[in-house]
């Protein structure tokens, strides 16, 4: 029996990472801990950057934007998973599934785009330092973020509209912990050739394109650093890129690993487990990567936490 366009069915079943009942409390505790760390860490960085006037620069403007996107990215999938485990339910409505897929694609695209913008910012800072403040003025920075949002919104909207045209089998079990686009297309009973083409186009546009831009930016950065005469100058220039390079490697390395593993193995649960790397683990580690290697962020965090501690007794008094 084929079903389509919301006719005859109202929900999907998210099978999660494991169907073993004894593992559910462990999965719940692990994901709840990672989610809380992700939200607290990224919001703390955002508040520290906004409260310290010394960090009102393009680099930290983009960093605070990415921190908010990471919180939203994780919040798209993990809370629903925790709710289902707590309620001993696997159900998600058709509308909820489409909504989750839309926001997941949106924030994944934003993550990729913002990483590219941050690479461009480092390129201008190192390769054109005398013109940095002219090129990376507040209006230009705001425009770059706006373009990232427009591209991501249009891409996720297109992907969802392509899914809405599909018909589905009566067996609507998704072997994942969220409504992942590829899994949704595989469940369809109608022809998915056009959907696959749009998916590949989107992956090239918002995945491969930004990655090539990042590689190009860093190739120029490496040549510029190589031309700096002093070792101290080379170290100072390179140190401003280390955190961003680590985040780029983590995001693209885990994403590529997921898609390679899903292409090689036919075990759906293996792909779902691998997806945890870039959907949950990467957003959780980003605040640690930027704060542990960045003196300005550590100083701002200490100042912000110190202000919070001082205000506590005043409010109580």
- Lowest mean per-residue pLDDT among 9-13, 35-39, 63-67, 244-248: 9-13
Cα atoms in the Cβ-side hemisphere of radius 13 Å centred on 58:
24
Backbone phi, psi, residue 121, to 5°: -60, -45
Backbone phi, psi, residue 92, to 5°: -145, 135
**Mean pLDDT value across residues 277-295:** 84
Percent of the chain whose pLDDT exceeds 70:
87
Tell me the C-alpha distance between 284 and 276, whole Å. Answer: 11
Structure confidence at residue 258 (pLDDT): 67
Tell me the C-alpha distance between 189 and 169, whole Å. Answer: 6
Cα atoms in the Cβ-side hemisphere of radius 13 Å centred on 311:
6
pTM score, two decimals?
Answer: 0.88
**Mean pLDDT value across residues 174-200:** 87
Tell me the C-alpha distance between 63 and 286, whole Å. Answer: 10
**Mean pLDDT value across residues 1-9:** 44
Per domain, the residue ranges of the chain are 2-311
Tell me the C-alpha distance between 135 and 143, whole Å. Answer: 12
- Whether the per-residue pLDDT at 121 is higher than 90: the answer is yes
pLDDT in tens, 148-178: 999 999 999 999 999 998 888 766 888 888 9
- Whether the per-residue pLDDT at 295 is higher than 70: the answer is yes
Structure confidence at residue 18 (pLDDT): 80
Structure confidence at residue 15 (pLDDT): 85
Mean pLDDT for the chain overall: 85
Taking the CA atoms of residue 176, residue 17, residue 254 and residue 71 in that order, the dihedral angle to the nearest 10 degrees is 80
**Mean pLDDT value across residues 51-80:** 92
- CATH of 2-311 given 2.40.50.220, 1.10.3720.10, 1.20.1070.10, 3.40.50.360: 1.20.1070.10
3-state secondary structure 250-300: HHHHHHHHHHHHHHHCCCHHHHHHHHHHHHHHHHHHHHHHHHHCCHHHHHH
Structure confidence at residue 307 (pLDDT): 65
- Whether the per-residue pLDDT at 32 is higher than 50: the answer is yes
Structure confidence at residue 202 (pLDDT): 86
């Amino acid at each position: 029996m084929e079903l389509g366009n919301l006719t005859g069915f109202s929900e999907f079943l998210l099978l999660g990472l494991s169907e073993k009942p004894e593992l559910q409390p462990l999965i719940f505790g692990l994901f709840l801990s990672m989610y809380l760390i992700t939200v607290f860490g990224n919001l703390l960085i955002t508040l520290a950057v906004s409260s310290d006037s010394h960090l009102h620069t393009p680099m930290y403007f983009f960093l605070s934007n990415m921190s908010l996107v990471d919180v939203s990215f994780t919040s798209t999938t993990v809370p629903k998973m925790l709710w289902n485990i707590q309620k001993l339910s696997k159900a998600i409505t058709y509308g909820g599934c489409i909504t989750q897929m839309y926001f997941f694609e949106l924030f994944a695209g934003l993550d990729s785009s913002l990483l590219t913008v941050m690479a461009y910012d480092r390129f201008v800072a190192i390769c054109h330092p005398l013109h940095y403040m002219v090129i990376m003025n507040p209006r230009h920075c705001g425009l770059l973020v706006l373009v990232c949002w427009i591209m991501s919104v249009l891409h996720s909207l297109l992907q969802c509209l392509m899914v809405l045209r599909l018909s589905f089998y009566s067996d609507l079990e998704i072997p994942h912990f969220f409504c992942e686009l590829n899994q949704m297309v595989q469940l369809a009973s109608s022809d998915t050739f056009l959907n696959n083409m749009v998916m590949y186009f989107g992956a090239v546009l918002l995945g491969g394109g930004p990655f090539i831009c990042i590689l190009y930016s860093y190739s120029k950065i490496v040549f510029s650093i190589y031309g700096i005469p002093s070792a101290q100058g080379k170290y100072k220039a390179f140190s401003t890129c280390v955190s961003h390079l680590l985040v780029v490697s983590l995001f693209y390395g885990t994403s590529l690993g997921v898609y390679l593993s899903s292409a090689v193995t036919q075990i759906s649960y293996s792909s779902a487990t691998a997806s945890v790397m870039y959907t949950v683990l990467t957003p959780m580690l980003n605040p640690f990567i930027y704060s542990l290697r960045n003196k300005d962020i550590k100083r701002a965090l200490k100042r912000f936490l110190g202000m919070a501690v001082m205000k506590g007794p005043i409010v109580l008094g």
